[in-house]
Amino acid sequence: MERSEIIQKINAIFIETLDNDDIIITEKSNANDVEEWDSLTHIQLVVAIEKAFKIRFTSKEIQSWANVGEMISNMQEKGI
Amino acid sequence: MIFVEGNTYEEKFTVSEHTHANFVALFRDNNPLHCNETFAISKGFKGKVMHGNILNGFLSYFIGECLPTKNVIIHSQEIQFKNPVYLNDELLFTAVIIGIYESVNAVEFKYDFKTASKIVAKGKIQIGILL
């Protein structure tokens, strides 16, 4: 899957999970850029992404991401 | 992880007079559908319809007391009410683990409450495992 396609799908997940239609996620986005992205919604986001893409992350992988782009790279390593 | 996808849990609950009366006393929902037999029957029910949110109390008990660890917290839950529950109905609660997300220490259950003849409520709960 192209990175642009992944981010489009991720953006829809953020909008749904964070209940904010105005969210626009970029590869550089991180929790500091999105008001509703806190520790609890982070869990919901990860669960929603794991479900949507039928993948599983490890806690180590999650802790290594500095932004959405790094998560996408991680997803591509898993064959997405 | 002490949870395994597919693991199933069962509990039995009864909506007793004691439970109903205490729910009303605590939350002050005296709506006649729940508290007035004549009114409820006039609306086509067999008797007083128990508050659906009493079932959420049973869910709380299940998560807090019946799992193999007390280190749990509810992240989210949803419930759909399918059929009325009446006073002294005996309910069989069944929960199945449908997802384990070790990356964020979360577990998702699908559950339902059944009387002898039908499902009265069903839904999903996601919990977190506290480290």
In a domain, B29, yes or no: no
- Tens digit of pLDDT for each residue in A3-15? 999 999 999 999 9
CATH of the domain at B99: 3.10.129.10
Q: Write out pLDDT tens, residues B95-120.
A: 999 999 999 999 999 999 999 989 99
pLDDT of residue B122: 98
Neighbours of B85 (CB within 10 A): 21
For residue A26, the model assigns a pLDDT of 96
Is residue B104 a part of any domain in this protein?
A: yes
Residue B7 has pLDDT above 90, yes or no: yes
- Contact predicate B19/B54, CB 8 Å: yes
How far, in whole angstroms, is CA A73 from its chain's centroid?
11
- Does residue B20 sit within a domain? no
Taking 90 as the threshold, does the pLDDT of residue B36 lie above it?
yes
Q: How far is A22 from chain B (nearest CA, A)?
A: 23
The reply to whether B78 falls in a domain is yes
Q: What is the ipTM of this complex?
A: 0.87
Q: What is the pLDDT of residues A36-80, one digit of tens each?
A: 999 999 999 999 999 999 999 999 999 999 999 999 999 999 999
Task: Tell whether the model's pLDDT for residue B25 goes beyond 90.
Answer: yes
Dist. CA A34–CA A30, nearest whole Å: 7
Q: How far apart (Å, rounded) are the C-alpha atoms in residues B54 and B86?
A: 11
Of B103, B106, B128, the CB nearest to A61: B103
Q: Which domain holds residue B58?
A: 8-14+52-129
Specify the pLDDT at position B1. 78
Kindly state whether residue B62 falls inside one of the protein's structural domains. Answer: yes
Whether A56 and chain B come into contact, CB under 8 Å, resolves to yes
Unique residue bearing structure tokens 């396609």:
A5
> Which DSSP string corresponds to A1-67?
--HHHHHHHHHHHHHHHHT-TT----TT--TTT-TT--HHHHHHHHHHHHHHHT----HHHHHH-SS
How many domains does chain A contain in total? 1
Structural domain of residue A33, as residue ranges? 3-77
The per-residue pLDDT for B118 is 96
Smallest CA–CA distance, residue A57 to chain B, in Å, is 6
What are the pLDDT digits (tens) for B44-79? 999 999 999 999 999 999 999 999 999 999 999 999
Which CATH number characterizes residue A69's domain?
1.10.1200.10
For residue B22, tell me if it sits in a domain: no
Residue B16's pLDDT is 97
The verdict on a CB contact (< 8 Å) between A62 and B126 is no
